[in-house]
Amino acid sequence: MGLLGAIEAGGTKFVVAVADQDYNIVERAAFPTLNGEKTLDQVIAFFDQFEDIDAIGIAAFGPIDIVTGSRTYGHVLDTPKTGWSGYNFLGRMKAWRDIPYYWTTDVNGAGWAEFKTGAAKDVDNMVYLTVGTGVGAGIVSSGHLVSGYGHPEAGHIFLQKHPEDNYAGHCPFHGDNCLEGLAAGPAIEERWGTSAKGIADDDIAWKIEAFYLAQAALDYTMILRPDKIVFGGGVPHREILFPLMRESFAEQMSDYLNVPDLDEYIVPVANGDNAGILGCFYLAKTLVK
């Protein structure tokens, strides 16, 4: 048996690593994200050190084309990031070495790690939501990552505004209509004119934030009936959000649906910063016979 490879392709940082089949990391490197071609040069220089790689999992910032059979499968789609729109990420990797690749989104990578060995390891259905610079989701239903005509963009569902919130929203497409426009880190910072980290726990900012995240959790619940909703990313580092989200969820749901105990239902990630890389290894492993 050879090694497993992982590429956690973030918008600001790339992390690459190889591990043995038991997920013990053999080597790891990180570098800032440049344009597509230059970044992939570094990725390939890293993996070139290892002769015997069985498969590589790639979890990439999006939007990306993950629809098998599509003409642009494996490409990065339209993005404001310089030197990435239309870049044939997977094609470049395959041209380098023709081994199996698991090609998916960054949130699917981290979500899959939470599903396999993290906060959702004991369930079959989960939503992993990351709330940072943007909001994104990796969704598992009956043990499978949900995707269809493309990957989920569950950060852009429409929400009702909190009655005390006058903020105009920051989604370039949906303004204050969508979750990301109202509740991502930059929205918090623009709304209150200060860094999110500096806002006190008892500030109304977190009540409003919890209201939006809970309303999103409610919509995911109605549509998917997950066993667990796992929150990752920078914003949920704010621990007070968890009791506030559970309270708001119960209030908005208004006893309509049977859900698991909220302390077990609305939970933080368990894998921490390693989730992305771990998820890539787990996904790569599914390709190894």
Contacting positions for ligand ADP (CB under 6 A)? 132-134, 185-186, 189, 195-197, 233-235, 237-238
Give the C-alpha separation, 210 to 216, whole Å: 10
Distance (Å, rounded) from C-alpha 121 to C-alpha 46? 31
Site string (76-105) toward its own copies, x via CB under 8 A: -x----------------------------
Distance of CA 192 to the CA centre of its chain: 25
Q: In the range 40-79, which residues lie near its own copies by CB under 8 A?
A: 77
Map residues 153-182 to x or -, x wherever contact with Zn ion holds by CB under 5 A. ---x--------------x-xx---x-x--
80 binds, among Zn ion, ligand ADP, its own copies, none (CB under 5 to 8 A by kind): none
* 267/229 Cα distance (integer angstroms): 6
> Is 163 or 193 the residue whose CB approaches its own copies more closely?
163
Tokens encoding 51:
């002769």
CA distance 146 to 5: 23
Residues 72-85 as b/e (b if ≥16 CB within 10 A, e otherwise) read eebbbeebeeeebe
Which one of ligand ADP, Zn ion, its own copies, none is in contact with 254 (Cβ closer than 5 to 8 A by kind)? its own copies
- Within 101-160, strands assigned E span 101-105, 126-131, 135-141, 144-145
Q: Residues 13, 38, 144, 197: which binds its own copies (CB under 8 A)?
A: 144
Task: Give the CA radius of gyration of the chain.
Answer: 19
Q: Residue 50 or 192: which CB sits closer to ligand ADP?
A: 192
Mode of pairing for the β-strands spanning 53-60 and 101-105: parallel
- What does the per-residue mask of binding to its own copies show for 194-213, with x meaning CB under 8 A? --------------------
Of ligand ADP, its own copies, Zn ion, none, which one does residue 133 interact with (CB within 5 to 8 Å by kind)?
A: ligand ADP
On whether the CB atoms of residues 76 and 64 are closer than 8 A, the answer is yes
Residues at the interface with its own copies (CB under 8 A): 77, 124-125, 137, 139, 141-142, 144, 146-161, 173-174, 177, 215, 218-220, 222-227, 252, 254-260
Residues at the interface with Zn ion (CB under 5 A): 156, 171, 173-174, 178, 180
